[in-house]
């Protein structure tokens, strides 16, 4: 048995900040965000979410035939097993969306014919089933929480349009579907973030894909990773009006209030995804009658840059976009899962293909060696 490496303070980085923890061909942040070499801005401009999900799972963008087949497979998986539906309906209506989704994915595993298979082909099939079923689980729980009947799924709508239909019960306008589609592209993948790393740790033990996705959902539920977009509109409404915006944000900073949707562990000069999504948010917000909220958001952005050198991350425009689409904050982070599962699955497949158990060391800071005294002497 190989002796453990000696404990050392050299190279220790709290939170693993800046630490290279593995190799990946899925995404890069070094030259702007790229998925498998493609700039995310170009993907958002020229592709739909299904094309990007295909890229992440299969390694390259699909041709027309590939995309047609991929969409047909995903549409064919738009059916939740009856036990998943029953479980969602048996939950208290107060159960949060992420808690419900975590449970739903776990139960989905019991009914996946490939659950115990770990080949590349089986894991891709499981990933595609997750892409087909997770939006349905989100919508099923949402309607249950509102004591409303579920909206039957359809096979003829693209991914983003279908989700809006499931939630709202009517087909979205093309510009609504496109805006949501772009947001899903931008959320689909992001290197070794907390939930992706969690998923890869689970996969490194040779556990199954659904277990890794459940663990990733648990990591994403935490407010320091997912959830910031849920708080954006509440913050803007707290301001009250455009006339009060600058004073409000300066007072908030003086009180050391945390402003959700700003700053990023990796992007110090601003998140490219926020800039890509902002025009879509502004157009839909104006059409929905939320122009003043957008004006308040601009003031806050300017003051945050001036006073703190902090810039928006993708959650800042995404929260406003989802509000303009008439979606409730309780489903914003589950929607993050709906998008990111493609990226998680790509990383899991990569981990399985060239696996090594992820087992880091810790830096011990407890008491020095000491003897155990008999109880009579303590």
Contact 131, 77 (CB under 8 A): yes
CA–CA gap between residue 85 and residue 15 (Å, rounded): 38
3 state SS of 60: coil
Strand partners, 35: 27, 38
Pick the CATH number of 23-224+330-353 from 3.40.50.360, 1.10.580.10, 3.40.720.10, 2.40.50.140: 1.10.580.10
Task: Write down the domain spans for the chain.
Answer: 23-224+330-353, 228-324
pLDDT values of the chain reduced to their tens digit, one per residue, 378 residues: 344 444 445 678 888 888 888 999 999 998 889 999 999 999 999 999 999 999 999 999 999 999 999 999 999 999 999 999 999 999 999 999 999 999 999 999 999 999 999 999 999 999 999 999 999 999 999 999 999 999 999 999 999 999 999 999 999 999 999 999 999 999 999 999 999 999 999 999 999 999 999 999 999 999 888 888 898 999 999 998 999 999 999 999 999 998 988 977 677 677 999 999 999 999 999 999 999 999 999 999 999 999 999 999 999 999 999 999 999 999 999 999 999 999 999 999 999 999 999 999 999 999 999 999 999 999
Check: CB of residue 336 under 8 Å from CB of residue 187: yes
CATH topology of domain 228-324: Cytochrome p450-Terp; domain 2 (1.10.230)
Q: What is the CA radius of gyration of the chain?
A: 22
SS3 of residue 287 by DSSP? helix
Residues catalogued as catalytic: 264, 315
Q: How far apart are alpha carbons 208 and 64 in whole angstroms?
A: 31
């Amino acid at each position: 048995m190989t002796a453990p490496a000696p404990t050392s303070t050299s190279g220790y980085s709290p939170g693993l900040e800046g630490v290279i923890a593995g190799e990946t061909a899925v995404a890069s942040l070094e030259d702007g965000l790229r998925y498998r070499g493609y700039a995310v801005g170009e993907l958002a401009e020229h592709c739909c979410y299904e094309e990007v999900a295909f890229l992440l799972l299969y390694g390259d963008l699909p041709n027309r035939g590939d995309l047609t087949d991929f969409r047909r497979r995903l549409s064919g998986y738009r059916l939740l097993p009856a036990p998943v539906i029953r479980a969602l309906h048996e939950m208290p209506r107060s159960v949060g969306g992420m808690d419900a989704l975590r449970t739903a994915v776990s139960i989905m595993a019991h009914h996946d014919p490939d659950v115990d298979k770990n080949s590349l082909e089986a894991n891709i099939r499981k990933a595609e089933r997750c892409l087909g079923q997770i939006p349905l689980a989100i919508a099923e729980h949402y309607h249950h929480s509102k004591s409303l009947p579920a909206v039957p799924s359809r096979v003829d709508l693209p991914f983003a349009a279908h989700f809006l239909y499931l939630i709202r019960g009517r087909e979205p306008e093309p510009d609504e579907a496109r805006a949501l589609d772009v947001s899903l592209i931008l959320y689909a993948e992001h290197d070794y973030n907390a939930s992706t790393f969690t998923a890869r740790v689970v996969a490194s033990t040779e556990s199954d894909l659904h277990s890794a996705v459940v663990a990733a959902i648990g990591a994403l539920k935490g407010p320091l990773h997912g959830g910031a977009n849920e708080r954006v509109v509440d913050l803007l409404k707290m301001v009250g009006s455009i006339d009060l915006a600058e004073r409000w944000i300066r007072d908030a900073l003086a009180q050391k209030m945390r402003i959700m949707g700003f700053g990023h562990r990796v992007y110090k000069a601003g998140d490219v995804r926020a800039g890509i999504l902002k025009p879509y948010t502004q157009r839909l917000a104006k059409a929905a009658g939320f122009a003043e909220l957008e004006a308040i958001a601009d003031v806050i952005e300017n003051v945050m840059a001036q006073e703190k050198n902090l810039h928006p991350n993708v959650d800042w425009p995404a929260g406003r976009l989802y509000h303009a689409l008439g979606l409730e904050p309780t489903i914003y982070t589950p929607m993050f899962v709906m998008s990111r599962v493609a990226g998680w699955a790509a990383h899991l497949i990569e981990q399985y293909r060239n696996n090594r158990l992820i087992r880091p060391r810790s830096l011990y800071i407890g008491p020095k060696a000491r003897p155990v005294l008999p109880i009579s002497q303590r």
